[in-house]
Amino acid sequence: PNGYDTPASKCFQATDAVNNGASEIDMVINIGWVKDGLYDKVLEEIKAIKGHCDGRLLKVIIETCLLTEAEKIEMCRVVSESGADYIKTSTGKEKISATPEAAYVMCQAIKAYYEKTGIQIGFKPAGGINTVHDAVVYYTIVKEVLGEKWLTNQWLRLGTSRLTNLLLSEILGKEIKYF
């Protein structure tokens, strides 16, 4: 979840994934660069990887649990400027992943960028969304901060395979482990 692979390795992985049929690419920012204030390096890396996505969606994971509020805001700006398609909260590999507080800060930053540029970027909270209540909390944050325009699968996705399994199990009346 620290994104420490080299930019060349990440670009190779994106190309390889595309060549093997991937329709979307997820990448993790280099947390060390963020902590060192090397935001231009993060921006250039994202742009390079986007260039290897061959038109596929690029979701950039900023691993919010490892960032300060100011770093979250800055990363939302960087990701928005990079041409990536989505900003994603986390990999889900850390003990604390998405939080409503981080989602709120990120949505405010996405909204500020949209109001400044007219460019819409998607949002994906992921990790730790385990109940319908959790999902409703994130949906509500997006609705209240970003508005109805974001309430489609083109602009909002919830990273919650556990919830999908729970819902399918409830609907079908037996345990389902689809994801």
Catalytic residue chosen out of the listed positions 10, 50, 88, 134? 88
Phi, psi angles (nearest 5°) of residue 46 = -60, -45
Residue with tokens 């909204």: 111
108-113 contacts: CB < 8 A, separation 24 or more? 108/73, 108/145, 109/72, 109/73, 109/76, 109/77, 109/80, 110/76, 110/80, 110/146, 111/145, 111/146, 113/76, 113/77, 113/80, 113/81
Is 88 catalytic? The answer is yes
Catalytic residue chosen out of the listed positions 26, 59, 72, 134? 26
Catalytic residue chosen out of the listed positions 10, 85, 124, 134? 124
Is 26 catalytic? The answer is yes
Catalytically annotated residues: 26, 88, 124
